């Protein structure tokens, strides 16, 4: 509940900020230097709202790209954890089936499943 309230407060604050920027128009001028050392260069002039939207879009794009790069970078670790978890799950399943087989009196199946669970759960107590 607290997270929802914090989220709604942030959305409200962002809305007020963008409304203020829309109500107070201004211009942002960026002067780029010319090649060759001359001081006067090309000027780019945009409204304040366009500059803010461009900045927010640039930050969002960088965040998405960073997230994608980090996911690709960590994919071997993620895959390894998934495989270890799957192996444990299969081992516990074999252990459970072996205990059921032992309770049912099926000794051959219980021995087979015990070997399988020992192989899969070698690191577990």
**Beta strand ranges found along 2-108 (DSSP E):** 27-32, 42-47
For the chain, the domain total comes to 2
- Quick check: is 88 in a domain? yes
Q: Please give the pLDDT value at position 31.
A: 83
Q: Say if residue 80 is in the same domain as residue 110.
A: yes
Q: Say if residue 55 is in the same domain as residue 110.
A: no
As a whole number of angstroms, the distance between CA 69 and CA 80 comes to 18
Q: Say if residue 38 is in the same domain as residue 85.
A: no
- Quick check: is 125 in a domain? no
Res. 49: pLDDT tops 90: no
Q: Please give the pLDDT value at position 80.
A: 93
Q: Say if residue 23 is in the same domain as residue 68.
A: yes
**Beta strand ranges found along 1-77 (DSSP E):** 27-32, 42-47
Residue 95 structural domain: 76-120
pTM: 0.59
Q: Say if residue 23 is in the same domain as residue 83.
A: no
When pLDDT is cut at 50, 70 and 90, the band that residue 21 belongs to is confident
Q: Say if residue 25 is in the same domain as residue 80.
A: no
Per-residue pLDDT of 76-104, as tens digits, reads: 999 999 998 999 999 999 989 999 999 99
């Amino acid at each position: 509940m607290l997270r929802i309230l914090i989220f709604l407060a942030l959305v409200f604050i962002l809305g007020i900020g963008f409304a203020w920027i829309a109500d107070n128009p201004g211009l942002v001028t960026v002067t780029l230097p010319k090649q060759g050392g001359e001081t006067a260069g090309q000027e780019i002039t945009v409204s304040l709202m366009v500059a803010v939207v461009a900045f927010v879009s640039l930050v969002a794009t960088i965040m998405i790209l960073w997230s994608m790069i980090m996911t690709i970078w960590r994919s071997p670790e993620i895959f390894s954890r998934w495989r270890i978890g799957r192996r444990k799950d299969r081992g516990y399943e074999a252990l459970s089936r072996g205990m059921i087989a032992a309770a049912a009196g099926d000794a051959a199946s219980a021995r087979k499943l015990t070997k399988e669970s020992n192989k899969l759960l070698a690191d577990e107590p």
